[in-house]
């Protein structure tokens, strides 16, 4: 949460008192004077003190899930299982994966991080392993690099396509994008007359899918992994 929100809700300080504390240079985060009450704070990464007295900050949750097919990327659903069902914490997915898409999904209760990371202006790369029902060639590599245009007229930012193998009946490739349009990867291939038969996200920003995680398994992110995500979202820690 923002420092201002913490001081307002957790410390029960008034807006005027918060302004005076910031102005008086008596709030320190990790030993440095805080001059902006809009800075994001997290007990996992920060130590907060006011006039030299340490304050307890709530820690956010950060998880990596190897999402299996069949789960929807939502906090709850009336009829379908969701990626959040097995978590006791109140968390939500960062971005989304389609119900029949597998792979790396990040979940957190950090609102600022989950809001920023999927935004295209931060250019956070997401890499997928994809299989399609036909031949991939250098032509498609060039088309992806220039930016695919959907049949609806919507244009995608340039993407990277790396062919693993290719034949007339099936091709496999890596695809790296910096956006998160609805069904984007599938629509990009449809635009070049190919149908996606398998899709797995293997990397989000600097984080790669942990191959020790079986489909449906998850683990908490390390502090270093959390810091890398904060860097991607241009948040200070």
CATH number of the domain within which 185 lies? 3.30.70.1560
Please tell me the predicted confidence (pLDDT) of residue 182. 85
Please tell me whether residues 26 and 77 are part of one structural domain.
no
Please tell me the predicted confidence (pLDDT) of residue 180. 85
pLDDT over 90 at 92, yes or no: yes
Mean confidence (pLDDT) of the chain: 95
Average pLDDT of the segment spanning 221-225:
97
77 tagged catalytic: no
DSSP strand pairing (196-204 vs 102-108): parallel
Please tell me whether residues 17 and 133 are part of one structural domain.
no
Please tell me whether residues 137 and 34 are part of one structural domain.
no
Please tell me whether residues 109 and 82 are part of one structural domain.
yes
Q: Of 98, 109, 210, 231, which is the active-site residue?
A: 98
Please tell me the predicted confidence (pLDDT) of residue 237. 80
Please tell me whether residues 75 and 187 are part of one structural domain.
no
pLDDT over 90 at 204, yes or no: yes
Average pLDDT of the segment spanning 58-82:
95
Considering the domain boundaries, does residue 69 fall inside one?
yes
pLDDT over 90 at 71, yes or no: yes
Cα Rg of the chain, angstroms = 21
Considering the domain boundaries, does residue 216 fall inside one?
yes
Please tell me the predicted confidence (pLDDT) of residue 40. 92
**C-alpha dist (Å) from residue 65 to 69, 191, 219:** 12, 30, 7
Please tell me whether residues 77 and 184 are part of one structural domain.
no
Half-sphere exposure of 228 (CA within 13 A, CB side): 13
> Residue 73: which CATH number?
3.30.70.580
Please tell me the predicted confidence (pLDDT) of residue 157. 93
Average pLDDT of the segment spanning 12-32:
94
CA dist., res. 130 & res. 149, Å (int): 19
Average pLDDT of the segment spanning 65-83:
95
pLDDT tens-digit profile of 75-90? 999 999 999 999 999 9
Q: Give the chain's domain count.
A: 3
The answer to whether the CB of 123 falls within 8 A of the CB of 206 is no
Considering the domain boundaries, does residue 237 fall inside one?
no
Please tell me whether residues 83 and 143 are part of one structural domain.
no
pLDDT over 90 at 153, yes or no: no
Please tell me whether residues 197 and 213 are part of one structural domain.
no
> Residue 50: which CATH number?
3.10.290.10
Please tell me the predicted confidence (pLDDT) of residue 213. 98
pLDDT over 90 at 236, yes or no: no
Considering the domain boundaries, does residue 67 fall inside one?
yes
Please tell me whether residues 188 and 144 are part of one structural domain.
yes
Please tell me the predicted confidence (pLDDT) of residue 181. 85
pLDDT over 90 at 56, yes or no: no
Domain that holds residue 184: 125-204
Q: Per DSSP, which regions of the chain are E strands? A: 27-29, 32-33, 48-50, 53-55, 62-67, 92-93, 102-108, 126-132, 160-166, 171-177, 196-204, 207-208, 218-220
Residue that terminates a domain, selected from 19, 37, 55: 55
């Amino acid at each position: 949460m923002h420092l201002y929100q913490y001081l307002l809700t957790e410390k029960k300080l008034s807006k005027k008192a918060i302004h005076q504390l910031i102005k008086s240079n008596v709030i320190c985060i990790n030993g440095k004077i805080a001059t902006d009450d809009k800075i994001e704070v997290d007990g996992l990464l920060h130590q907060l003190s006011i006039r030299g007295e340490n304050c307890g900050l709530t820690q956010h949750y950060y998880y990596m899930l190897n999402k299996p097919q069949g789960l929807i990327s939502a906090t709850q659903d009336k009829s379908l299982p969701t990626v959040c069902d097995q978590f006791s914490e109140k968390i939500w997915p960062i971005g989304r994966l389609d119900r029949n898409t597998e792979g790396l999904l990040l979940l957190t209760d950090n609102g600022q991080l989950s809001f920023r990371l999927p935004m295209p202006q931060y250019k956070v790369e997401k890499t997928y392993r994809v299989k399609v029902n036909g031949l991939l060639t250098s032509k498609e590599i060039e088309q992806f690099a220039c930016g695919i245009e959907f049949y609806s007229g919507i244009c995608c930012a340039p993407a990277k396509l790396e062919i693993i193998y290719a034949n007339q009946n099936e091709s496999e490739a890596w695809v790296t994008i910096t956006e998160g349009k609805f069904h984007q990867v599938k629509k990009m291939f449809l635009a070049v007359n190919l149908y996606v038969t398998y899709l797995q996200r293997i990397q989000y920003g600097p984080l790669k899918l942990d191959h020790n995680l079986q489909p449906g398994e998850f683990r908490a992110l390390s502090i270093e992994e959390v810091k890398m995500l904060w860097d991607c979202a241009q948040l200070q820690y």
